[in-house]
Amino acid sequence: MRYSALTQRIAGDGAAAWQIHDRALELRAQGVDVLLLSIGDPDFDTPRPIVQAAIDSLLAGDTHYPEVRGSAGLRNSIARRHRQRSGQVVEAEHVIVFPGAQCAVYSVVQCLLDPGDEVIVAEPMYVTYEGVIGACAATVVAVPVRPENGFRVDPADVAARITPKTRAILLNSPNNPSGASLSLPIWQALAELCIRHDLWLISDEVYSDLLFEGEHISPASLPGMAERTATINSLSKSHAMSGWRVGWVIGPKPMADHLVNLSLSMLFGIPDFVQNAAQLALDHDLPEVASMREEYRQRRDLVCSSLGQCPGLRPVRPDGGMFVMVDVRQTGLSAQHFAERLLEGYGVSVLAGEAFGPSAAGYIRIGLVVDQTRLADACRRMALCAAGLLISQVTLAVTQPSGAVSRGCRSKLAREGR
């Protein structure tokens, strides 16, 4: 039987990236001790007051069709929170609620892009962006970023890729996978490009509450940008609510109206009991949220400190988020082969950087999604994996019959690997 061309546009490297994660789940099901660091799912429980709010709402009978835009209470809470954090003038009418930020990105792209349009995206990029843009037959124009620049996009590189077909720029700050955040001067330069070339800006800010260094800038707050920016956020990472599927878009009112029409066609909103719990999450400064953020910061520091001392491994310290990128090129393997060896031989599941784009080739992405004890164990296993590969390189390079030099190198590398 024949399938539509859409099925090909939404497949590709991004969809295949999860194969190693699926293999890790398979090994776990067989009883293998696997440390799962390949997915950005918080390991914390959703704060209890949020859970209780959902229970109370269910018991009150909030189980019928919801308002498609999202409840007025939740949209007001989202608008108020965004005003407080960005300074942008936002009201409930600018907000549309979706089942997660992933759905929000998809919906925005569907309402902004036509077949043949070009979208400039900083690369490495989140693995689903390619499929989301491909779904509406638009084209991703990747802007490679340099690891030596902390994986931060250079506005000059963006400017060089703008053509008459360019319709939008899609950026994620702090970034997944790199954790890089964009400073005010960078955002100002990008805003000037958007205004000069009449471009949309899609700003994915789902990690904005997990920024450890610097200040988060919401670009829609810059002069001339509110009317051309779709700001996307969610509670998945900040409040450990990934399974609740609560996300939203903030944009100009005409965009919001178009998004409502699209939601009517496929979603019809999210349950009221979920929205009521989300409203409580936004209206209260829950201590659990601050504790989770601090724990992520400590986990980042642990990984960077531990792996920074290991031969063959070089972590890139992220500004925020819940991942650390690690350069594994000195081991002699590609990131994909290193990740496979690490999983099969040492029981640690990570994603290869190539899944996020060529700029991340030679890097692996480590999720900070287990407690510090298990994360330290994962770092130890990674160090052993790298040391074993370096020992193999030395063994191949040394040709002395006695093997004395080779044994000495092996001993040193093994000590350092631990």
pLDDT in tens, 4-43: 888 888 876 555 567 889 999 999 999 999 999 999 899 9
Parent domain of 372: 6-45+295-380
On whether residue 416 sits in a domain, the answer given is no
For residue 190, what are its two tokens? 């990008």
- The helix (H) or strand (E) run that includes residue 314 is strand 314-316
* Site of tokens 């805003």: 191
Residues 352 and 229 in one domain: no
Least confident residue range of 10-24, 184-198, 232-246 = 10-24
Share of the chain above pLDDT 90, in %: 84
CATH number (domain holding residue 20): 3.90.1150.10
- Is the per-residue pLDDT at 130 higher than 60? yes
* CA–CA dist 167, 368 (Å, integer): 35
Residues 271 and 366 in one domain: no
- For residue 121, what are the β-bridge partners? 142, 170
pLDDT of residue 248: 98
**Greater pLDDT, 127 or 379:** 379
Alpha carbon distances (Å) from 247 to 22, 192, 206, 299: 25, 28, 9, 26
For residue 294, what are its two tokens? 């601090």
On whether residue 288 sits in a domain, the answer given is no
Q: Average model confidence (pLDDT) for the chain?
A: 92
Residues 301 and 240 in one domain: no
Residues 201 and 314 in one domain: no
pLDDT of residue 15: 54
On whether residue 390 sits in a domain, the answer given is no
pLDDT of residue 409: 37
On whether residue 205 sits in a domain, the answer given is yes
- Is the per-residue pLDDT at 44 higher than 90? yes
Residue 418 pLDDT class (50, 70, 90 cuts): very low
Cα three-residue angle 65-50-276, rounded to 5 degrees: 25
Residues 224 and 118 in one domain: yes
* CA–CA dist 199, 194 (Å, integer): 5
- Is the per-residue pLDDT at 187 higher than 50? yes
Residues 341 and 254 in one domain: no
On whether residue 409 sits in a domain, the answer given is no
The SS3 of residue 35 is strand
Number of structural domains (the chain) is 2
For residue 76, what are its two tokens? 């007001």
CATH number (domain holding residue 120): 3.40.640.10
Asked if residue 338 lies in contact with residue 275, where contact means CB atoms within 8 angstroms, the answer is: no
* CA–CA dist 106, 126 (Å, integer): 13
